[in-house]
Amino acid sequence: MKTLFDATTIKGRTLKNRLFRSATWERLADGDGRLTPQLLAVYEELAQGGVGAIITSALYLQATARSLPGQLGLYDAAGLDGHRRLVATAHGNGALLLGQLAFAGRDGVMWTANDPSTAVLDELPQYYARGAALAREAGYDGVQVHAAHGYFLSQFLSPAANGRTDAYGGSSEGRRALLMAIYAAVRREVGEDFLLSVKLDCRDMHETPGVFEECLGAATALDAAGIDLVEVSGLGGNKGICGGKKQAQSVFRPEAAAVAEAIAAPVILVGANRSPATMEAIANETAIAYFALSRPLLRQPDLPARWQGGSTETARCVSCGKCYDEAGNNCFFVRRAAAGEA
């Protein structure tokens, strides 16, 4: 019988359990996208809390491509010391660290899939490859290409959002051409022993027909090309899943299970994973291998250690959607407690 705390191995790297911290924007980097003491403290608390692997917040890959305030960057050698400190913090506490590579636009302007020219898109894979090379130099275990949550890359996979008529649109193959080119460029740059992951949307905010089919097609194509991990997410945009106390759990289970049955690479399920009993049941009833948590770890960064210690508690996160704050993306209830409020 599988448990959340089985040790598993991917390409020689051991994960001490089946729990990932899914990429979560912290809003704590400095004006140049460099590590700050406050941001390092977040990763230290996560690593000490017992999660098996941490996926960083979205890392921007060009100096002018920051799209979110306080976003962490990975675009030149000058920032590597900070990333090495993140790696040391994770590894020192037994957690793997993957850097999430992202492109959303330039100069604070969010792009749509239909905005850039073909020539601009032809150049993008090299930035992902350089980001991956920098991550490898810093000591990361791997990288994840962010193609979810309604951002730039995920729009290419959407039949509704991608209206292109060039090589990057017009058919399923065209819609995933940019993602496939990015994967190929990254793999050529970092080699076979570096973990490569992708995050895909299986649904969007509008329940657009065909989104899951494009997700499955992209996952299958990437699997054939040699992808190491596929994280299945959905809904898109920054609204996320905000169902309050009535929030359903593990909401993308059906789609993630279907992807896991279709590909050889391990699948990570993210999206309202709250109950250890539910996750263990999913691990035993489907081919889903791993589970990722985001907002529950904002409220309880030590939740994995609690579960490993025998607690059967459901995560205290109530999906209220009040995480975002000018001082950083963190739990409303933690902020309130720190302020001495009831």
Convert the pLDDT of each residue in 24-65 to its tens digit.
Answer: 999 999 999 999 999 999 999 999 999 999 999 999 999 999
The angle, 0 to 180 degrees and rounded to 10, between the axes of the packed helices 80-92 and 118-138 is: 50
| Rounded-to-integer distance, Cα 91 and Cα 88, Å | 5
Q: Reply yes or no on whether the pLDDT at 67 is more than 50.
A: yes
Q: Reply yes or no on whether the pLDDT at 242 is more than 70.
A: no
| Rounded-to-integer distance, Cα 175 and Cα 114, Å | 11
CA nearest neighbour of 276 among 305, 243, 313: 313
What's the gap between Cα 253 and its chain centre?
17
Q: What is the pLDDT of residue 179?
A: 98
State pLDDT tens for residues 118-132. Answer: 999 999 999 999 999
| Rounded-to-integer distance, Cα 40 and Cα 135, Å | 16
> Which residues touch 173 (CB under 8 Å, ≥6 apart)?
none
Q: What is the pLDDT of residue 336?
A: 78
* Domain region containing 232: 8-338
Whether 186 is covered by a domain: the verdict is yes
Name the least confident of 116-125, 160-169, 232-241: 232-241
Query: Bigger pLDDT: 128 or 204?
Result: 128
CA nearest neighbour of 53 among 319, 320, 289, 314: 289
Q: What is the pLDDT of residue 207?
A: 82
Whether 1 is covered by a domain: the verdict is no
Vertex 57, ends 213 and 28: CA angle to 5°? Answer: 150
Average model confidence (pLDDT) across the chain: 93
Q: What is the pLDDT of residue 244?
A: 67
Name the least confident of 127-131, 188-192, 241-245: 241-245
Whether 3 is covered by a domain: the verdict is no
pTM of the model: 0.95
Whether 99 is covered by a domain: the verdict is yes
The mean pLDDT value for 167-177 works out to 97
Whether 214 is covered by a domain: the verdict is yes
| Rounded-to-integer distance, Cα 133 and Cα 74, Å | 10
Q: What is the pLDDT of residue 219?
A: 98
Quickly state the pLDDT bin for 241 (edges 50, 70, 90): low
By the 8 A CB rule, do 129 and 51 touch? no
| Rounded-to-integer distance, Cα 299 and Cα 331, Å | 5
Whether 299 is covered by a domain: the verdict is yes
Whether 50 is covered by a domain: the verdict is yes
Q: What is the pLDDT of residue 235?
A: 74
Q: Reply yes or no on whether the pLDDT at 236 is more than 70.
A: no
Quickly state the pLDDT bin for 238 (edges 50, 70, 90): very low
Q: What is the pLDDT of residue 237?
A: 39
State pLDDT tens for residues 305-320. Answer: 999 999 999 999 988 8
Name the least confident of 163-167, 206-210, 292-296: 206-210
CA nearest neighbour of 42 among 24, 66, 20: 24
CA nearest neighbour of 201 among 187, 190, 214, 189: 214
Whether 2 is covered by a domain: the verdict is no
Indicate which CATH number applies to the domain containing 302.
3.20.20.70
The mean pLDDT value for 69-75 works out to 95
By the 8 A CB rule, do 132 and 101 touch? yes
Query: Bigger pLDDT: 241 or 275?
Result: 275
The total of structural domains in the chain comes to 1
| Rounded-to-integer distance, Cα 61 and Cα 160, Å | 27
